[in-house]
Amino acid sequence: MHIESGQIAALTGGGTGIGRALALQLSAMGVHVAMCDVSAAHMAETQVLCLAGAPAGTRVTCTVADVSQESAVLAFRDAVRAEHHTDHIHLLFNNAGTAGGGAFVNGNRADWERTFNIDWFGVYYSARAFLPMLVASPVGCIVNVSSVNGFWASLGPGVPHTAYSAAKFAVKGFTEALITDLRTNAPHVGCVLVMPGHVGTSIALNTYDARKMPAALVGVMRQRMVQAGAPVADASDDDIRALMHQRAIDFRDKAPTTAAQAAATILDGVRAGRWRILVGEDAHRLDAMVRQAPEDAYEPAFAAAWRDGGPA
């Protein structure tokens, strides 16, 4: 699909990370961007950066919305219609996401369902809300951001990762099923599945900020650290919070792929008409490893090979 000046893109999770990078690169091309996020402050920063680098007349609008709530997503859609004076959009980027909800067996149900609702229902509600506006466009594209955890439901042995992985698997299956659905019922609208590896985003920081690191979560993180050999059994809750905060910063700042690189890869894939986009060399390597030995994917030796730079 051609991406060009004057088109309109709706984008969830535009406040930070890949969402911000997409907004910056789209607006720099003269694409009008309508973004939503739960953080008005983060969106305001994105908006200022976008307008500083965009051609004159490019619109960049912001709506506060929690995508796990359908009413909020519908309000975002209505804001796009009103603020961009349009009955159609050309691009929809379902990018908003959160971490958390690791264990299904003994984890906190509310935390599990909040993670799943943002990462899956946020995509579903947004696709439902904006599909008529995409169909009304001469050409359109839905870009759904899944994850490598959409084909490998693990962070390694001993670390449950169920809510996030289940949601990202759902996004993957939904997007692949949409290929035939759209070709049959709206052939001028395409869809793209994005599966990033480790990208330098603030998803962990944002997740901890949203949950304020309650004592129950601190206990879970302490247990995981002890199991991994860290001498933190007697550390205070505040010390654990500080360690997790630093790990979240390291996740963002020491990633092998930057958010800007990820956004460029995504947009290049959309232009090339690809429906499946892996982001980062680590994503390509993990995809190859899972395909080569799917029955071994959840064995300790697989995770060890992955950590040690296993076969590509």
Domain boundaries, the chain: 8-200+258-303, 202-254
Compute φ and ψ for 94, nearest 5 degrees.
-90, 90
Query: pLDDT tens digits, residue range 266-309?
Result: 999 999 999 999 999 999 999 999 999 999 999 999 999 988 87
Compute φ and ψ for 101, nearest 5 degrees.
60, 45
Residue closest to 94 by CA, chosen among 65, 120, 117: 120
- Beta partners for 189? 140
**DSSP letter string over 254-267?**
T-SEEHHHHHHHHH
**DSSP letter string over 71-114?**
HHHHHHHHHHHHHTT-S--SEEEE---------SSSS-HHHHHH
Specify the fold of 8-200+258-303: Rossmann fold (3.40.50)
| Residue 188: both structure tokens together | 């001028």
Residue 238: CB atoms within 10 A of its CB come to 10
Cα–Cα dist 135/92, whole Å: 12
pTM above 0.95, yes or no: no
pLDDT of residue 312: 47
pLDDT of residue 200: 76
Place of tokens 């980027």: 93
Verify whether residue 124 is a known catalytic residue: no
Given 124, 125, 164, 208, the catalytic residue: 164
Query: pLDDT tens digits, residue range 116-139?
Result: 999 999 999 999 999 999 999 999
Cα–Cα dist 139/134, whole Å: 7
Asked if residues 63 and 90 have their Cβ atoms less than 8 Å apart, the reply is no
Mean pLDDT by 10 residues, the chain (312 residues): 98 97 98 98 98 98 98 98 98 96 93 97 98 98 98 92 97 98 98 94 58 63 64 71 61 76 98 98 96 96 87 54
**DSSP letter string over 286-301?**
HHHHHHH-GGGTTSHH
